[in-house]
Structure 1
Amino acid sequence: MRDERDRILRSLETLRTGKAPLPPGLRGRQLCFLHIGKTAGTSVQHALFETMQGTAILHESLQSFDTVTAAEVAINDLVIGHFGYQHVAKLRGDRYLMTFLRDPVERVISNYHFLRSGSPVSGYSQRATGAAKALTLSEFLRCDEPGVRMVTENFQAKALAFDIRPEHQHTIVDLHRQAAHNLATFDFVGIVEYFSESLLALSDAIGREVPLKRMNAASERSSAATVSSDDLDLIRRLNAVDIALYAAARTRFEQTILPTLRSCDTATARAGTADRGWPRHRPDILRPLVRAMPA
């Protein structure tokens, strides 16, 4: 109860002292960032903190989203956290929902090294953290303990379908179908492998710059190029649903968002109006493309 009271008081204090205006592209909607682990979310998070400075912000852990109330969430302009799609019901109806996806093979490898070196330990990640510190990558991938499988198998799809935690997996009947259906409800889906382009597209969509930041990169991270072919094959088998979702989202980004950004950049350069305020592109064109991306 004390945590809930403190969160409400922080948000109300922002409202009392006069909050900053929201980015015009949001049109008064609540900006909600579903942060999937090891998808550049910490960098996005800090960028959004800067973009939304002076507004009411709710930033909580996965466990806290289990107990936070919809009324408490409603008084905030920016909602950020490692929440699962099950918690989306607590967000305002007038929301702008966003997330980022990453190449699933690279995400699993990065997650392993992050758990070994710098991950904060929470109740639901404790087993995975302990296993990562005790096992080689090859052993970690072959560990069947549910707390480890949580991060090695279709992590992104589980977050999108309902929740990543083992105790919630029984509620997911068809992982691919549920994750794809829910992803289609997002207003924006960034692609880590197009990180700067994703932030540029997001900036244009909401009508205010989201600055490029790179934080929380695992210092011991190895790329897929250093992993054995057997381990890579296993990662791909374990993450078949993640790979399908990511491939569809990336293809749509490449076919719709990138050409629009590049054509607008060319037009802006020809007009000699580069770097003269925000938005630099055409939000009226970009917003519907971003909204349709996950389909």
Structure 2
Amino acid sequence: MTHVTAVFWPLTDIRSGSIPDEAKVFLAELANATETKIKVATAEQLSGEDPIEGQKVVVHLAFLPGAILAFEKAVRDGLEDTVDNFARFVSEYFSNFLDFRKRWIGGSDVKSTPKLNLNAMRLTPAKTLNPVLNALAPEKHGTTPLLTTDAERFCAPLLPLLDRLVPDTFRHNNEDVITGLRTLKLPRHVVQQTYQNIMGRDATNAQIILLQGLPTIDRLRASLDASKKDPKQVGLSDRDIQTSYNIFLGRAPSPQEMERVKNTHPDITSLRQVFLKSSEFSAQYKNIAGAQSAANVQQSTPATPFKNITKFQPAKEDRVVFLHIPKCGGTTLHNMLSYWFGQSNVHSERLNGLYGHTGASLASAMVFSGHYDHYATTLIPGPKKMITFLRDPLDRLVSLYNFHRAHSPSIIERHNLVLPRWANEHDVDSYFEHPVIRNSPAINNTMVRYFSDVPQIGRYHETGAAKEISLDEMLEQALRNLEKFAFVGFMDQYEADMKRLAATLGCEPPSKVKKHQVLDDLMDSSPDMRKIAKQKPTAQSRDDMEELVAYDRILYAHARELLK
């Protein structure tokens, strides 16, 4: 069988349109290491082909450098070399990229396609290259990872090539144009036709590029419908832009930034994607210090443990309410609360069903522990001591995916479990790429939703007044609500924080924390779970997933700051 390395544009020299010597050296090393025959091809050469079942493909996906390459070739063939022609060309060329990605990355025959990330190769060569080698020759590399020194030797020839493929050095690096082209999501012809159908006229080139940045066709239609009703509401308002800068970057935009954003971003989603990949956002929210020492933590005043609680009597002490975000160590904490206060004092509701309980039922318990949204906890009578545990938002999503994937088909069908069914049918990368998954409140910035003032039950969040509440507003609510919590713990310092929680509640700290609902244990012991190999998203997928945790990451960073 021939193993095909689809050399997607960045491995092709922009100036000559040929495979440069650096790439040839790398591919020769790759062929030798995997003992496979490698066919070198550009995306254009593969445009008329489809994957063959069982064929192994290595692809590097990077749209803009490839589009620049294609534009250079078009200029050599006679296209006038102007920034306007460049913007139009790239906008049209995006359809080629989508077609290639769909057939060579998203097809059922190539679900396990390794994807090279050249920038990641520069930083972590062994981590980036090993999955490729393992996929091409699992019998040789599956159990013996390539040494870091060897990986660096593999990658070294490509590094000079990277410096020649940076769009920022391109002669048409107009900031407004490049910003818009980095966020393309929809094919140009789809935007053109939709605009014409709804607005009854042709869109300008700038309008098309702006609208190509919308994430879905439904969003495109909704945006055009709104602008047709009120032309003044096209694009982002000054308030939208100022609020976004304040939330994501912690500062106000300059007048120049205000004007540029209005001309290049159709909505907050498009703007958010740029913020997520900016070094300014990264410095502010992705490098928050990890564990906090107990000496630096301001402890709450210890309370007296509950004893001899009488049912239906006015509470003389604060009720303990644990807001349990999924995959944040909550089952372990629930068992500890039951041990500390007695199972009979813990309310039976474990899911988000407090809305269906009577006042008498809620008044009968002194401890509440479940997947409640914050709004539901306001129904609990009397003073409350709110507690929670949080986890790095991206790690939480990956853990949730593996937990769902491990559900047995029988329990999925018996209870019609939608997300576990999707996890069973998709690998981790395609799962988090799917628009249905990305739009699910159980996936998209879930932590902020649960800490906000919006009930997360049924379809309430999609109807009525709740539908008008944006994630920006929910984040403001969540930040405000979080500051009222008596205790916030973190998964990466679980043992230490359990002791800190014991002090907060006036309970005996555990000598050792016995963890519950650990996936490895569940796969061995639970009849409703099955054995799986845990999956990790690729570096590219993790970058794409940042949009799903953008608001959660701000909430998480704020929680860390509260402990300082």
- TM-score, normalising length: structure 2: 0.38
How far apart in 1 are the matches of 2:429 and 2:380?
Answer: 39
Which shifted more, 132-141 or 122-131? 122-131
Deviations 1:43-99 (A, max 9, x none): 111111111126522031435322012331112111111111120121123111111
Letter in 1 for 2:337: L
* Rg (Cα) greater in structure: 2
Does the 8 Å CA contact 1:100/1:192 hold for their aligned counterparts? yes
How far apart in 1 are the matches of 2:503 and 2:413?
Answer: 36
Q: Work out which of the residue numbers 333, 344, 362 in structure 2 matches 1:44.
A: 333
Which shifted more, 143-152 or 93-102? 143-152
1:218 aligned to 2:519? yes
Q: Work out which of the residue numbers 434, 451, 476 in structure 2 matches 1:143.
A: 434
How far apart in 1 are the matches of 2:559 and 2:379?
Answer: 25
Does the 8 Å CA contact 2:352/2:376 hold for their aligned counterparts? no
Does the 8 Å CA contact 2:482/2:559 hold for their aligned counterparts? no
Deviations 1:13-37 (A, max 9, x none): xxxxxx8457xxx972111111111
Does the 8 Å CA contact 1:128/1:147 hold for their aligned counterparts? no
Letter in 1 for 2:477: Q
* Alpha-carbon spacing, 1:155–1:166, altered in 2? closer, same or farther (3 Å): farther
Does the 8 Å CA contact 2:479/2:558 hold for their aligned counterparts? no
Map of 1:134 onto structure 2: 425
How far apart in 2 are the matches of 1:40 and 1:245?
Answer: 18
Matches within 5 A, 1:205-244: 205-211=504-510, 212-219=513-520, 222=534, 226-244=536-554
Q: Work out which of the residue numbers 492, 496, 519 in structure 2 matches 1:193.
A: 492
Letter in 2 for 1:186: F
Does the 8 Å CA contact 1:31/1:78 hold for their aligned counterparts? yes
Letter in 1 for 2:498: L
Does the 8 Å CA contact 2:394/2:546 hold for their aligned counterparts? yes
How far apart in 2 are the matches of 1:246 and 1:143?
Answer: 25
* Alpha-carbon spacing, 1:56–1:221, altered in 2? closer, same or farther (3 Å): farther
Q: Work out which of the residue numbers 345, 358, 365 in structure 2 matches 1:69.
A: 358
Does the 8 Å CA contact 1:125/1:147 hold for their aligned counterparts? no
How far apart in 2 are the matches of 1:33 and 1:195?
Answer: 15
Identity, % of aligned positions: 23
Deviation at 1:147, TM superposition (A): 8.8
1:168 aligned to 2:467? no
Map of 1:112 onto structure 2: 401
* Alpha-carbon spacing, 1:125–1:112, altered in 2? closer, same or farther (3 Å): farther
Q: Work out which of the residue numbers 445, 460, 479 in structure 2 matches 1:180.
A: 479
Deviation at 1:124, TM superposition (A): 9.7
How far apart in 2 are the matches of 1:122 and 1:35?
Answer: 26
Relative contact order (C-alpha < 8 Å, sep 6+): which is higher? Answer: 1
1:203 aligned to 2:505? no
Does the 8 Å CA contact 1:140/1:148 hold for their aligned counterparts? no
Letter in 1 for 2:346: I
Question: What are structure 1's unaligned runs of at least 5 residues?
Answer: 1-18, 256-295
1:249 aligned to 2:540? no
Does the 8 Å CA contact 1:103/1:246 hold for their aligned counterparts? yes
Which shifted more, 50-59 or 132-141? 50-59
* Alpha-carbon spacing, 1:153–1:54, altered in 2? closer, same or farther (3 Å): closer
How far apart in 2 are the matches of 1:159 and 1:122?
Answer: 27
Q: Work out which of the residue numbers 438, 449, 457 in structure 2 matches 1:158.
A: 449
Deviation at 1:116, TM superposition (A): 1.1
Does the 8 Å CA contact 1:39/1:102 hold for their aligned counterparts? yes
- SS of residue paired to 2:387: strand
How far apart in 2 are the matches of 1:248 and 1:123?
Answer: 40
Letter in 1 for 2:515: R
* Alpha-carbon spacing, 1:141–1:165, altered in 2? closer, same or farther (3 Å): farther
How far apart in 1 are the matches of 2:474 and 2:415?
Answer: 20
Deviations 1:162-196 (A, max 9, x none): 34457233424312112112212221111111111
How far apart in 2 are the matches of 1:182 and 1:193?
Answer: 23
Letter in 2 for 1:179: A
Does the 8 Å CA contact 2:407/2:420 hold for their aligned counterparts? no
Deviation at 1:148, TM superposition (A): 6.6
Map of 1:97 onto structure 2: 386
Does the 8 Å CA contact 2:389/2:488 hold for their aligned counterparts? yes
Deviation at 1:221, TM superposition (A): 7.5
Map of 2:66 onto structure 1: none
Question: What are structure 2's unaligned runs of at least 5 residues?
Answer: 1-305, 310-314, 521-531
Deviation at 1:234, TM superposition (A): 1.6
Deviations 1:133-179 (A, max 9, x none): 11111111122226972332111111111344572334243121121
- TM-score, normalising length: structure 1: 0.70
Does the 8 Å CA contact 1:158/1:175 hold for their aligned counterparts? yes
Letter in 2 for 1:157: V
How far apart in 2 are the matches of 1:41 and 1:96?
Answer: 16
Letter in 2 for 1:62: L
Which shifted more, 125-134 or 188-197? 125-134
